[in-house]
Chains A and B, each alone.
Chain A
Amino acid sequence: MVKKIFLSPAIGIFFLCITAGCANVKEYQKSKINDAEMQLNSRKVGITELNFESYREGASGANAGKIGGGCGCN
């Protein structure tokens, strides 16, 4: 119960700091942000890992992998 009371505002403050405190990065300043290794999605070559993880583990989702439908997996 104590955890729940602190968790909601903690997450909210985290979002607030991230979005409100973010710098306005202009396009010409994004050379590092636009680097291929900085992309926020999984590597395409990692799709085979996401597949076996969804078959061999109970958890799935929130990673662009399988969510339980489309396969005889979890």
Chain B
Amino acid sequence: MKKICLTVIGLYFSLLSAFSQQYNVDTSSYKNQKLKLTEIDIVSGYFNQNGDHSAITGGIGTQKLSDVSNEIEIKFVKQNEVNDKYTWDIEAGFDHHTAASQAYVNPLGTSRAWGTRFYPSVNWQVEKNNGLTFGLGTSLSTEVNYHSIGLDFSVGKTSKNKNTDINFKGQAYFDQVVLIEPTEFIPKPIETSPSTYTTASGNIITAGGGIIKVHIPRTPRYTFSGSLTMSQIVNKNFQLAIIAEGVAQQGYLGLPFHRVYFTDGSEKIENLPSTRFKLPLGIRMNYFLGDKIILRSYYRYYVDDWGIKAHTASLEVPYKISPFVSISPFYRYYIQTASTYFAPYAQHQVSDTYYTSNYNLSAFTSQFFGVNIRITPEKGVFNIPFFNMIDLRYGHYSQTTGLQANNIGINLRFK
């Protein structure tokens, strides 16, 4: 108990000393600027994967999938008479995927094997001259089987010497899962016979008849999170950030087209608990080694109440070939334990209350390695003045489940 008290007291005083100094506001030169377009980022990516444990077919079957994603982010900035900085961030993204396993929502393999997602968002932030920041944001995401509305707010404080920054962000997602089930579980459409009747004037009329289609219902999923980030400049070459996040989910947390097979040969749709609490804790440490090499490291510990514990560790080493070109090999290692509710194909007992054969929730390790190239010429890319940067990144990903994937991304920045 004494050790915990001393620790807490030590933390409190160290944080107080970072933020104890007063800010002096200089309003002698006043310029109220108009809202200016400051930056445009275009990010595109291509991803493909293959494996043999599709959740749609109960933990077996092809996981072949490809995805093309495109995002554009536009940033506007304005400063007022006391040098408060206002930022508007407008983003829009569009993904298109094809997935071989998606065709087997119908067991005959005739379901639509592709999908698209559209996801715009708007964020507003103010950085006050006293180091206080405040932000609000909203986002939408829509695809054929999932619809989402997101809200977020953030509040932060930067120390006067700008060496320490603390930020809290709260997020909430109000989602709707469209209950598209495997075809064999959908009730057969109701067929009605036409009806015949005679009007008062003696005319005989036949009307009605046809097929009444079963309506596909939606069910909610709610996600709430709070994350606290502390960034600290340690010395001229070293800075770090510590991130603690708590996530609570409620509602339909599985996917309605995931099958599960049991030891007795029977089949059901996966059934997962309606609540989930996640606790990821992360740390980033960046160190400038000499004049040309940077070490970018990241570690995350994760635990949730579905039985999953995971460790993530990554290291990226940018090497500055010149002040304008850097090449960065990277490596990421990941290990997780299985969820309490996971079992492979046909291994679940009929008496199980919750069950899934989604290999994303199984025990595995993964490795991801690749290279990033960043080009930021002084006079602009291809000598185009406002074409500020190209960032190109390729990586190969593999899991011990047999899943293999490749990802390539490009970021074009205009300033």
Contacts and interface: CB of A to CB of B under 8 A. Distances in A.
Given A40-B241, A59-B312, A59-B336, A72 B177 contact: yes
A57 to B, nearest CB: 6
A43 B407 CA distance: 15
Contacts of B98: none
B403 interface: yes
A58 B233 contact: no
Q: Please tell me the size bucket of the interface on B.
A: 35 or more
Contacts of B411: 43-45
Interface in A17-67: 18-27, 29-30, 32-33, 35-40, 43-49, 51-53, 55-63, 67
B393 A22 contact: no
A55 B237 CA distance: 35
B360 A24 contact: no
Contacts, number: 236
Given A19-B14, A33-B233, A63 B374 contact: no
For chain A, the bracket of interface size reads 35 or more
B286 A59 contact: no
B374 A36 contact: yes
A14 to B, nearest CB: 9
Given A12-B10, A61-B225, A68-B249, A38 B294 contact: yes
A60 B334 contact: no
12 contacts: A15-B242, A20-B17, A22-B164, A25-B235, A26-B161, A37-B320, A38-B288, A49-B393, A52-B67, A56-B399, A67-B247, A74-B360
Interface of B: 3-4, 6-8, 10-11, 14-15, 17-18, 41, 43, 45, 47, 49, 67, 69, 71, 73, 117, 119, 139, 141, 143, 145-146, 148, 150, 161-164, 171-173, 175, 177, 221-223, 225, 227, 231-237, 239-245, 247, 249, 255, 276, 278, 280-282, 284, 286, 288, 294, 296, 298, 300, 302, 304, 306, 308, 310, 312, 318, 320, 326, 328, 334, 336, 339, 360-361, 366, 368, 372, 374, 376, 391-393, 395, 397, 399, 403, 405, 407, 409-411
Interface of A: 5, 8-9, 11-13, 15-16, 18-27, 29-30, 32-33, 35-40, 43-49, 51-53, 55-63, 67-72, 74
